[in-house]
């Protein structure tokens, strides 16, 4: 058997070699773990057994269902109903289409749990609408890319589910921890959009008649009811997280096909097939990451980090500042789920010795993942918006920069004011 130090060095060396080769992240994690199983004399059948054990998780099964729900929302007309609803309430404000984008992304994220799906759905509708009203294209791209990140902070959140699986935390507690920071982010983004719109004299939209106002609100009720039902079910303890996700997928399917008629029932089979492919790819990454994390722990990686921190007398605020800096840099080159699955097996065991609440740390991680979605050169939301509008990436980067600054400010406040993340879960579930 290899010594702990040898195993750790081999693991890290293999990991960075595979990562530098440009392999997909699930192959990087899986091949690293596979080689170490072989080098350490473990039977390879144990790799398959470990993967099966990791899949035997009620929480993990929520992931594909939320992906399916997000795909149905994106293609089924739900996004358009939410946009019309937000527009009905904000149309008289200057630059209201930008405000509609912020509010629409928050509402869409309250069901989908996905930032990319949120940015894609809202960008398809709102970017052409803003351009037709003479909004600057960088601003239109930036507000959608930035606001789209709300999809992984406002519950339910796929990122929070992945964190819960790796850190063995309560999903409902994590969901509710993201609510206050998510509302704060929505508020500061909305304030910036209104300030920018006044500064550039963007137009107001025509006010709806009373009859049209009522019609738009009634039409949006099915879409608005979904997040309420999910929240009541999860926080009331009526259903498990996977049951809530499955229910959300079914309800969004019915609403999309029957109410909004975004696709026919026959076409829904193809939509579900696309969603299942996306969900399966996430599950493969999670499974290989959990095996990788198991070996990282067995190799003593977290224990060595804890020892280093204790020996060098690091404080919690210094640790969090360093982690935020590291994650910001990683977010420029890796997508969010990969960052989480690579780093959490190392970082979670360090939290207790430093007195950091894992729920608070989850919100810090997710805001860092939001930044990863909009920071070049690998910000997925930037690629999504550039792709659907055929706009140069430079314009998307220019437009999203103010939102990056706002997100960094939010990150620092949430990092050093833990009550913003912990007050609501402690109120609902009790302090720990």
pLDDT single digits (tens) 275-296: 777 667 667 766 666 666 666 6
pLDDT band at 1 (very low <50, low <70, confident <90, very high): very low
Higher pLDDT, 297 or 210: 210
List all residues 6 or more positions away from 66 whose beta carbon is below 8 Å from its beta carbon.
112, 113, 114, 156, 158, 161, 245, 248, 249
Higher pLDDT, 211 or 273: 211
- From CA 23, how far away is CA 45, in angstroms rounded? 24
Contact assessment for residue 12 and residue 308, using Cβ atoms and an 8 Å cutoff? no
- From CA 241, how far away is CA 233, in angstroms rounded? 9
Q: Which two structure tokens, joined as six digits, stand for 410?
A: 């939010």
pLDDT on residue 2? 47
- CA 223 to chain centroid, in Å, comes to 20
From 20-24, 142-146, 299-303, the region with the lowest mean pLDDT: 299-303
Q: Is the pLDDT of residue 242 over 60?
A: yes
Residue 77: Cβ within 10 Å count: 20
Q: Which pTM was predicted?
A: 0.83
- From CA 272, how far away is CA 274, in angstroms rounded? 5
Q: What is the mean pLDDT of the chain?
A: 83
Handedness of CA 187, 378, 120, 176 (dihedral sign): negative
Please compute Rg for the chain using Cα positions: 22
pLDDT on residue 196? 94
Could you report the per-residue pLDDT of 158-215, keeping only the tens digit for each? Answer: 899 989 988 889 899 999 999 999 999 999 999 999 999 999 988 887 878 889 999 9
Higher pLDDT, 343 or 140: 140
Would you call the peptide bond into 156 cis, given omega within 30 degrees of 0 as the criterion? yes
Mean per-residue pLDDT, 146-164: 91
């Amino acid at each position: 058997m290899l010594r702990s130090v040898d195993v750790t060095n081999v693991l890290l060396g293999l990991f960075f070699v595979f990562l530098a080769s440009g392999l997909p992240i699930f192959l990087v994690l899986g091949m690293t773990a596979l080689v170490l199983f072989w080098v350490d004399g473990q039977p390879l059948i144990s790799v398959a057994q470990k993967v099966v054990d990791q899949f035997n998780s009620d929480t993990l099964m929520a992931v594909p269902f939320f992906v399916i729900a997000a795909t149905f929302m994106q293609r089924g007309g739900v996004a358009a109903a939410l946009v019309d609803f937000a527009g009905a309430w904000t149309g008289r404000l200057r630059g209201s289409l930008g405000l509609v984008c912020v509010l629409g992304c928050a509402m869409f994220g309250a069901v989908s749990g996905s930032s990319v799906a949120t940015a894609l759905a809202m960008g398809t509708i709102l970017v052409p609408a803003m351009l037709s009203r003479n909004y600057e294209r960088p601003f239109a791209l930036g507000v959608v890319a930035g606001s789209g990140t709300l999809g992984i902070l406002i519950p339910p959140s796929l990122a929070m589910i992945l964190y819960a699986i790796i850190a063995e935390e309560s999903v409902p507690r994590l969901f509710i921890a993201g609510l206050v920071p998510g509302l704060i982010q929505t508020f500061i983004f909305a304030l910036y959009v209104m300030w920018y719109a006044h500064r550039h004299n963007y137009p107001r939209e025509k006010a709806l008649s009373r009859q049209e106002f009522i019609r738009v609100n009634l039409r949006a009720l099915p879409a608005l009811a979904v997040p309420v039902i999910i929240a009541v079910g999860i926080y009331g303890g009526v259903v498990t997280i996977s049951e809530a996700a499955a229910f959300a997928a079914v309800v969004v399917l019915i609403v999309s096909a029957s109410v909004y008629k975004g696709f026919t029932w026959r076409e829904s089979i193809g939509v579900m097939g696309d969603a299942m492919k996306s969900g399966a790819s996430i599950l493969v990454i999670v499974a290989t990451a959990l095996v990788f994390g198991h070996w990282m722990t067995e190799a003593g990686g977290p224990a060595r980090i804890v020892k280093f921190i204790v020996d060098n007398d690091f404080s919690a605020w210094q640790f969090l500042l360093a982690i935020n800096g590291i994650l910001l840099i990683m977010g420029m080159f890796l997508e969010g789920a990969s960052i989480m699955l690579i780093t959490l097996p190392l970082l979670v065991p360090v939290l207790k010795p430093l007195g950091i609440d894992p729920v608070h740390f989850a919100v810090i991680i997710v805001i860092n993942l939001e930044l990863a979605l909009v920071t070049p050169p690998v910000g997925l939301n930037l690629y999504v918006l550039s792709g659907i509008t055929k706009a140069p990436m430079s314009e998307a980067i220019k437009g999203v920069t103010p939102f990056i600054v706002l997100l960094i400010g939010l990150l620092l406040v949430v990092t050093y004011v833990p009550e913003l993340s912990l007050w609501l879960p402690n109120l609902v579930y009790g302090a720990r």
